[in-house]
Structure 1
Amino acid sequence: MIRDLYNVRWQPVDGDPTPLTEDEEQRARATLFHDLGTVIAERGWVRFPAYSPEERRRLLDVAHRLTEHWGQRVHVVAEDPCALRLHLDGYGTPPAA
């Protein structure tokens, strides 16, 4: 016998993050814009973790918004599978350790 299932939603697997609501997404991007923008303005670059494709897209959007806001290009480089580096011209190479 086949039954129709109504109002059934997929439940996230334990440990999987739930997607942000539209309001939460806007607040997260605004916070990143402010906080990362402040650090980039002070030292010319910032490294930030990005573990998921959503986080990477969010950081790319923040870099585009900063570019429009400052009128100066903010570059985005993947340093490794878990972190992105946002930097201004002239700050592209990481400092020597």
Structure 2
Amino acid sequence: MDPRPLRDLHNVRLRPADDGPAPLTDEEEQRFRALLFTELGNAIADRGWARYPAYTPQDRRRLVAVADRLTAHWGQRVHVQAEDPTRLRLSLSPHAPQHP
């Protein structure tokens, strides 16, 4: 056992990890979703599908929201499926070929 006495720590807060990205502000989030809407929408319109990295739950929620927005815009369902733990695929049909 450690011979040093224990100290009571008051008003101690965990600091965020410096190696992780800072969360986006509301304005940044809106601008990023608008960019994804345009870029992924163009890719899906061209070939019927697009894939995008999704490393965090926030990334996955963002892509699902973009797919829902594209669905409302086009009037045609945009499907979202995980290709692997780090990447999602958005497509007009779940059976669209992965490669042209």
Same fold (TM over 0.5): yes
User: Which of 26, 30, 38 is matched with 1:26 structurally?
Assistant: 30
Shift of 1:11: 3.0
Residue aligning to 1:47: 51
Q: How many residues align?
A: 94
Shift of 1:89: 1.9
Structure (1 or 2) with the larger CA radius of gyration: 2
RMSD of aligned C-alpha atoms?
2.1
User: Which of 62, 65, 68 is matched with 1:61 structurally?
Assistant: 65
Residue aligning to 1:36: 40
SS in 1 for 2:51: strand
Separation in 2 of the partners of 1:66 and 1:55? 17
Q: Residue 45 of structure 1 contacts residue 91 of structure 1 at CA under 8 Å; is this kept in 2?
A: no
Q: Report the TM-score when normalising by structure 1.
A: 0.84
Over the matched positions of the two proteins, sequence identity in percent amounts to: 56
Please list every run of 5 or more consecutive structure 2 residues that lacks an aligned counterpart in the other structure: 1-6
